[in-house]
Amino acid sequence: MQNPRWKVGGRAFAQIAQYHPELTALRRDLHAHPELGFEEVYTGRRVKEALQVCGVDEIHEGIGRTGLVAVVRGRSQSSGSMVGLRADMDALPITEHNDFSWKSCKQGLMHGCGHDGHTAMLVGAARYLAETRNFDGTAVLIFQPGEEGFAGARVMMEDGLFDRFPVQSIFAMHNWPALKPGTVGINTGPMMAAADRITIEITGRGGHGAHAYQTVDVVLVAAHIITAAQSIVSRNVRPIESAVVSLCAIHAGDLGAFSVLPGSATLVGTVRTFNPVVQELVEQRLKDLCSAIALGFGATATLHYERMYPATINTESEAVFAADVAESLVGADHVVRDLEPSMGAEDFSFMLQNKPGAYLRLGQGTGASGSALHNSRYDFNDDVLPLGSALHASLIEQAMPLPAA
């Protein structure tokens, strides 16, 4: 099935396009049955069934609790090479507001980030690779749980993923509504930021709002910290670097107690950076600022700084290779080789800390929903399924080409 709005070349796409109806049906079934991280039981079962039909050589379950790994061996094994491809499977705790027939059947859960599409694309690549085996080596197809805040990539690695499947390099891709369908984006450095969680606990002395002079007002302290925190990036981080400090929630007191000043307050937020040096700087400045401001008001403030996901950094040679592979499919005009990094985060970063590799963006446009990622009206654009599968498969074929006859 050739999409009339954009063209894709290559044998892999031509063959995989024939699977388009089946891939669409699988994707929509997964969309209708979303599951959170480490709860992907139905998803894993459907993936296993599809992989069995595809004819892959091995299927390994229970890696990282609900993760699966499929192995496909090439026509030749003389190179001894092994390359990994990864797709995430989990959904989000969002109530879906779409009204199509494949909308979520679970209240409060939906595939709002396109992981249903990522999973279907890797299944499509598995089918093609198992049918053709036009490569010299072993393809390792990783279906990962718990990307959305559960660090499923790290859990799979702790469960021996790369000990059991010692790939030389690894690749992943994510749909990107900001890019047009038929377009691929990548760069040779940071693709996504490190995501850190910050919690600031403020302790003062509560009391009656009519006698504020007898209290140590934690709401006032919190307000000063919130304001001052926004100076950290502008007055400490070099302008050519990137960082974001966002305090996103505050809890203090009781809305029903309008005349009571609370004795404690909690602020919660996030820090996003690309450079570990900047990350260290922001953490230290935030710690110093909180302590000093609280001290100035007679209160105390403690910063709890949790480093959740590291920055997603592509290795240069693998990123250039992946861009070249994409170009062989969609042409140079449809590959963005200097894509602007996102301040969002991605746990594929843990894999890239361990193995050379690259993370790509697959353009899908906003589609019929007109919505971006993590939106209650988002839906994956099924038109790009064959291209995503072909890109996965082509990474394998071109990374491990068959010996010349």
Annotated binding site for Mn(2+): 113, 115, 148, 174, 374
Q: Do 366 and 297 touch, CB atoms closer than 8 A?
A: no
Binding site, by residue number, is 113, 115, 148, 174, 374
Q: Do 6 and 81 touch, CB atoms closer than 8 A?
A: no
**Token pair of 34, please?**
């979303």
**Token pair of 8, please?**
């894709």
User: Which helix (H) or strand (E) element contains residue 72?
Assistant: strand 67-73
Amino acid at 123: V
- Of 132, 98, 136, the closest CA to residue 116 belongs to 98
Burial of 369 (0-12, 13-18, 19+ CB in 10 A): middle
Amino acid at 403: P
Taking each helix axis as running N to C, give the angle between helix 385-399 and helix 20-32, from 0 to 180 degrees, rounded to the nearest 10. 110
- State phi, psi for 347 to the nearest 5 degrees: -80, 0
Scan for tokens 């988002």, then name that residue.
378
Q: Do 188 and 12 touch, CB atoms closer than 8 A?
A: no
Q: How far apart are CA 21 and CA 202, in angstroms?
A: 56
Task: Tell me which DSSP letter residue 145 carries.
Answer: -
Amino acid at 382: D
- Of 268, 258, 250, 264, the closest CA to residue 204 belongs to 264
